[in-house]
């Protein structure tokens, strides 16, 4: 009797242990071979499960897989394979999506290559600042000649926002009617720098927009949008006079976000061209061969829940291109437009709107 009970006991314990030990097997992890097809499938699957704009961009990712997988040929070298994978990623039309190998980085460029550049830093430095400007990190500032307007150029949001530098600039320009913030050719960087910089231009807490994330591998598995806020730069100087933000198609990612946050402010106009977009915060992953891939994973929206992946348009009446002929004579017609907007508004003490003329006489 005792022996039988012991047998049942041992059997029971064995069963429970076996059941417990089999539990981790339920946590499935995909495996890919380190060959052409394995790496291709890994790349396709990573994007399939994590990329966030399939539905917004109406991309048939299954069809993309079929099309590009058929281009793989046994024995193709890694350069050819890289080109096939890059072409597949280009189907996403996303400047935040890159394939990074030890010999090359794929990059979708058409978000800016199909548009005028609308910026020449040398013209600004030479003809507007007379090479006499202050700089720190990725910022330069100075007072523009023949007008009462200050100018700040921020080349990259990867450079930390130095609030002391901003304070000093604002105090130095305190008698100016307005300030131009130039983020043309600013390809983005750390989005937290957006919050720091915007904090200098608001008098109270504002909505910074919304962010979502994927909750699963399905193309429409998203969380509810989460609204985030931007606080004023407490203890620092704040600029509540007129501001014109200058943008071009190369204003991308965090800089695109900066423009989308600044645009609704009543004392701000956005002038120049539509920004380049890039509103998906990127994630990174990697392939068995050691290449890494970066892609948009978390969409960020503006305060009205508009997706800014395709860019932020200038304020009404503020779409201005750089005049190539004028540029040859040292004129940046976008800056001229901004100066005119500030000067006109200061003279009329009215609502801050686009001026009637473009500011440059041909």
Q: Which of 239-247, 261-269, 275-283, 328-336 is the region at the interface with other proteins (rule: CB under 8 A)?
A: 275-283
Residue 195 Cβ vs other proteins, minimum distance, rounded to whole Å: 9
- Quick check: 52 binds other proteins (CB under 8 A)? yes
194 or 341: CB nearest other proteins: 194
Query: 10 Å Cβ neighbour count for 54?
Result: 17
Residue 64 Cβ vs other proteins, minimum distance, rounded to whole Å: 20
Q: What is the CA radius of gyration of the chain?
A: 27
Residue 286 Cβ vs other proteins, minimum distance, rounded to whole Å: 5
- Candidate list 297, 320, 346, 354; residue touching other proteins; CB under 8 A: 297
34 or 203: CB nearest other proteins: 34
Q: List the x/- string, 168-207, binding to other proteins by CB under 8 A.
A: -----------------------xx---------------
- Candidate list 36, 42, 169, 194; residue touching other proteins; CB under 8 A: 42
- Write out the binding residues for other proteins, residues 54-113 only, by CB under 8 A: 102
What angle, 0 to 180 degrees and rounded to 10, lies between the N-to-C axes of helices 78-90 and 61-69? 160
- Quick check: 254 binds other proteins (CB under 8 A)? no
Residue 266 Cβ vs other proteins, minimum distance, rounded to whole Å: 25
**How far is 109 from 118, CA to CA, in rounded Å?**
16
- Quick check: 266 binds other proteins (CB under 8 A)? no
Q: Which of 110-118, 152-160, 223-231, 328-336 is the region at the interface with other proteins (rule: CB under 8 A)?
A: 223-231
Q: Which of 1-9, 178-186, 269-277, 286-294 is the region at the interface with other proteins (rule: CB under 8 A)?
A: 286-294
Q: List the x/- string, 203-222, binding to other proteins by CB under 8 A.
A: --------x-xxxxx---x-
39 or 118: CB nearest other proteins: 39
- Candidate list 7, 226, 330, 357; residue touching other proteins; CB under 8 A: 226
145 or 290: CB nearest other proteins: 290
Contact between 158 and 138 (Cβ < 8 Å): yes
3-state secondary structure the chain: CHHHHHHHHHHHHHHHHHHHHHHHHHCCCCCCCCCHHHHHHHHHHHHHHHCCCCCCCCCCHHHHHHHHHCCCCCCCCHHHHHHHHHHHHHCCCCCCCEEECCCCECCCCHHHHCCCCCCCHHHHHHHHCCCCCEEECCEEEEECCCCCEEEEEECCECCCCCHHHHHHHHHHCCCCCEEEEECCCCCCECCHHHHHHHHHHCCCCEEEEEECCECCCCCCCECCCEEEEECCCCCCCCCCCEEEEEECCCCECHHHHHHHHHCCCCCEEEEECCCCECCEEEEEEECCCCCEEEEEEEEEECCCCCECCCCCCCCCCCECCCCHHHHHCCCCHHHHHHHHHHHHHHHHCCCCCCCCCCCCCC
Q: Which of 20-28, 179-187, 241-249, 268-276 is the region at the interface with other proteins (rule: CB under 8 A)?
A: 20-28
CA-based end-to-end distance of the chain: 109
**How far is 261 from 208, CA to CA, in rounded Å?**
6
Residue 37 Cβ vs other proteins, minimum distance, rounded to whole Å: 16
- Quick check: 281 binds other proteins (CB under 8 A)? yes
Q: Which residues, at least 6 apart from 49, have a Cβ–Cβ distance to it below 8 Å?
A: 217
- Quick check: 2 binds other proteins (CB under 8 A)? no
Residue 216 Cβ vs other proteins, minimum distance, rounded to whole Å: 5
- Candidate list 38, 137, 264, 288; residue touching other proteins; CB under 8 A: 288
- Quick check: 307 binds other proteins (CB under 8 A)? no
List of residues contacting other proteins (CB under 8 A): 20-21, 23-24, 26-30, 34, 42, 46, 50, 52, 102, 191-192, 211, 213-217, 221, 223, 226, 228, 281-286, 288-290, 292, 294, 297-298
């Amino acid at each position: 009797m005792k022996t039988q009970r012991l047998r049942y006991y041992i059997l029971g314990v064995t069963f429970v242990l076996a059941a417990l030990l089999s539990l981790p097997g339920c946590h499935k992890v995909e495996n890919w071979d380190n060959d052409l097809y394995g790496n291709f499938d890994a790349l396709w699957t990573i994007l399939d499960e994590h990329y966030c704009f399939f539905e917004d961009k109406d991309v048939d990712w299954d069809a993309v897989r079929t099309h590009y997988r058929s281009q793989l040929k046994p024995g193709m070298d890694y350069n050819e394979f890289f080109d096939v994978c890059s072409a597949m990623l280009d189907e996403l039309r996303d400047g935040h999506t890159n394939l990074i190998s030890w010999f090359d980085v794929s990059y979708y460029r058409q978000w800016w290559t199909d548009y005028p550049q609308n910026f020449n830093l040398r013209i600004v430095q030479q003809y507007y600042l007379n090479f006499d400007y202050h700089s720190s990190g990725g910022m330069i500032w100075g007072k523009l000649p023949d007008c009462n307007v200050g100018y700040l150029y921020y080349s990259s949001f990867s450079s930390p926002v130095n609030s002391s530098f901003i304070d000093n600039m604002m105090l130095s320009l305190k008698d100016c009617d307005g300030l131009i913030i130039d983020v043309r050719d600013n390809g983005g960087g750390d989005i937290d720098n957006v919050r720091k910089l915007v904090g200098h231009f608001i008098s109270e807490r504002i909505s910074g927009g919304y962010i979502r994330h994927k909750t699963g591998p399905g193309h429409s598995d998203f969380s509810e949008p989460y609204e985030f806020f931007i606080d004023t730069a407490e203890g620092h100087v704040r600029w509540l006079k007129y501001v014109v933000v200058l943008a071009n198609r190369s204003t991308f990612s965090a800089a695109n976000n900066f423009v989308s946050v600044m645009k609704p402010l009543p004392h701000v106009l956005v002038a120049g061209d539509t920004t380049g977009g890039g509103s998906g915060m990127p994630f990174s992953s990697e392939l068995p061969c050691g290449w890494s891939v970066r892609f948009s994973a978390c969409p960020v929206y503006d305060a009205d829940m508009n997706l800014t992946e395709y860019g932020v348009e200038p304020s009404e009446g503020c779409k201005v291109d750089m005049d190539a002929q004028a540029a040859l004579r040292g004129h940046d017609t976008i800056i001229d437009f901004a100066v005119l907007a500030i000067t006109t508004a200061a003279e009329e003490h009215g609502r801050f709107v686009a001026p009637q003329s473009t500011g440059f006489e041909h």
